[in-house]
Chains A and B, each alone.
Chain A
Amino acid sequence: MKGKIEKLIINALVDYNEELENPAYGNPDEKTRLYSSEGGMDSIALVGFIADLEERLAVEFNKDIILADERAMSQKRSPFLSVQLLANYIENLLLESEE
């Protein structure tokens, strides 16, 4: 499932980058930085990206997931740092919602 989530994030990033035009997202992979001081998105771009991603997840997995929940906001290492961390985080949310 993790691979599928990563792919979904990467696809979303490629589409979103048509608007952002950030060279760092030219050819994204799982290591690509998202919200980060090193060439990633700023907070305004991140908010738009998260909104878009939530909707894609709802369509793909038929689950209404909120990405910016309390845990995400209070984690020491933000899940929004990279594609990989975000994919891990989403996988956990999806597994939990199945319980």
Chain B
Amino acid sequence: MFLLAMRSLRQRPGRFAGTLLAAFLGAAITMTFNSLHDTAAAPGIDDASAETLNLSGGVVGGYGTLLVFFAIASTLTVTVRQREEEMELLRRTGATPRQLGRMVVGEAAVVALAATVLAILPAMLGGRVLLGMFHDSGQVARDVDYAFGPIALSAGFGVTLLASVGAAFLAVRRATRAGRRAPRTRLRALGGALALLGGAAGVSTTFALDATDPILMAPAAEGAILLSIGLAAFSPALLRALLACLGRPFAALAGPSGYLAVLNLRRNAARLAGILMPLVLFTGIATATLCMQAVESDAIEASGLTKSVEDKNMETLNLIVVGIIVVFACVMLINSLYAATAYRVREFGRQRLTGATPRQVIGMVGAEATLLTVTGVLLGTAAGLAGLVPFTLVRADEALPGQAPWIWLGIVAVAVAATVVTAVATARRGLRVPAVAAVAVAA
């Protein structure tokens, strides 16, 4: 089975690009921040420097590990689902679920190892940049030298490998035990409800804090993140509700392509979670954090003070964390959407044989992407605002900062571009296959 895993990796390297990228980013980030622990562990380092380094090293730690896990899990689930046919064939030729599991887990482990090795150099560079930042701000003494050592390496390999193998194990278990959907949906609903509760609590805490409290931003930002996660969990249901209201008028306006798009989305809503979730997370988290940062900067400026070094560091770290989350969400979004669209070549073929022109098929994919983006952006914006408005009220005594619409438009532009461009470009490629060949078996 391990040989089989290696062979399938060699033959279809493109299929693992998404997982490789997710694992690479994850390993690079984990090692970058953990190398700060290595640096802090050097002998003769003063206490203040060590504390700063260890604190910063830990900032991304928890979130980072969780994100790496989700990103790898999402890309792997897509790869496994794409290969359902191949796995079915292997099973019919006598492979046991255990053997299939070993194959997929083996592949994931190899990909994770390769990704981590590739990530070592970028992580070293990233760590150096971080340390340089601390040198400049004076938070770490100039004579502290950068070190990349056992802590970074073991965290990088450990987190990436564990996340990959765990995610592969779960993905394959799900795939080989078809027909047991209900518990998963219930689990997701439970998780979503908990996240919503936690988020609401975090956001409410904001009102109990003082306008100049240094930790004012934390509960609001984390509340927005949790609300995004909660709404993301319920996004398929909300998509269905949206289609129930807007489906008919949309189909009437958008013609045959819109008609097909609405039907496809309505009947596949559950499967679209993998695309909607990163969209909601991306919009919600980016809106909340970027706008809050703008409010904070304005407030400091308005009070007549200049930004302290710590304020600046806080801002940079904030932006780094958001950047990481946003990049991961984008990778997940593009990967899921690419895979889902590439998988539909046969369906496109059937539509063309029924009389759809290539332009109508592209129009359908574009309409689906648009509806998905609208749903994701609506939910994400709701979560983002829920965190942002209380923070702005307490900090600046207004409901929304003036820059909010512009920041929001920028975020939406990125979301629309990522979704629509990925879907349409992938569909366009799928249309190059002649329709008759596209519907033939084993295309």
Interaction A to B: no
Q: Hey, which bits of chain A sit against chain B, CB under 8 A?
A: none
Q: Hey, which bits of chain B sit against chain A, CB under 8 A?
A: none
